[in-house]
Structures are given as C-alpha cells and as structure tokens.
C-alpha cells in the first residue's frame, strides 16, 4: 500500500467521525502478530490513558502535526515530556519496553 495524502485524508475523516478522535489503519494481519505496523491518526482533543507496554516497545513517526508524550513513574507522577514536531526536525520517538506513558 502506498501511503499517500489520499490515505491520510481518508483516515483523518474516519477519526473525525470517531468518539475517540482517533483511527488506525492496520498493516498487520492479526493482533497476535509479533510486530504491529499501522497508521494512527490522533486528532486534537484525543487523550490516551497512562499505560505501560510490558512486552513490547513502540515507535511513533509523525507524518503530520505534533503530539505530547509524557513519561510517568510508578507513583503516577510525570517525569519527562516530549513534543516531537516534524517541522522542527523531530520526527518521532522510540519508547522502550516498560515505560509508563500517555499521549495527547
């Protein structure tokens, strides 16, 4: 699949219709696949709860827009904040296994 402006626009329209204000376009066959690849459109106002991936790492590469990514300690206190922005030559972030995090 060619990732084009048309695909990004389609996923964005679907996210706009979603109560969660986000939409995935999955490239993996199954949630059981050892590696999951997807486009994830997250619109302004979308918030993820604090969560931790104990068995997998994550990598976010921004094609458009920005996001805030916050790390938390075991007490639920924010310890670090990142604001990747492709217009500032900050294209994404890799999150190691075991980090508590939240996106908005």
Q: Give the closest residue to 83 by CA, choosing from 68, 96, 71.
A: 68
Predicted model pTM = 0.80
Which residues have a Cβ under 8 Å from the Cβ of 55 and sit 6 or more positions away? 97
Per-position pLDDT tens, the chain of length 104: 889 999 999 999 999 999 999 998 988 888 787 777 888 899 998 888 999 988 888 888 999 999 999 999 999 999 999 999 999 999 999 999 999 999 98
User: CA 68, CA 44: separation in Å to the nearest integer?
Assistant: 11
φ, ψ dihedrals at 21, nearest 5° = 60, 35
Query: CA torsion 51→57→62→65, rounded to 10°?
Result: 10
User: CA 28, CA 35: separation in Å to the nearest integer?
Assistant: 8
């Amino acid at each position: 699949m060619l990732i084009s402006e048309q695909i990004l626009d389609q996923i964005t329209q679907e996210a706009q219709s979603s109560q969660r204000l986000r939409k995935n376009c999955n490239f993996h066959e199954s949630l059981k696949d050892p590696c999951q690849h997807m486009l994830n459109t997250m619109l302004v106002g979308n918030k993820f709860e604090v969560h931790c991936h104990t068995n997998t790492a994550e990598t976010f590469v921004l094609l458009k827009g920005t996001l805030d990514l916050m790390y938390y300690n075991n007490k639920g206190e924010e310890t670090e904040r990142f604001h990747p922005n492709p217009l500032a030559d900050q294209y994404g972030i890799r999150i190691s296994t075991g980090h508590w995090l939240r996106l908005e």
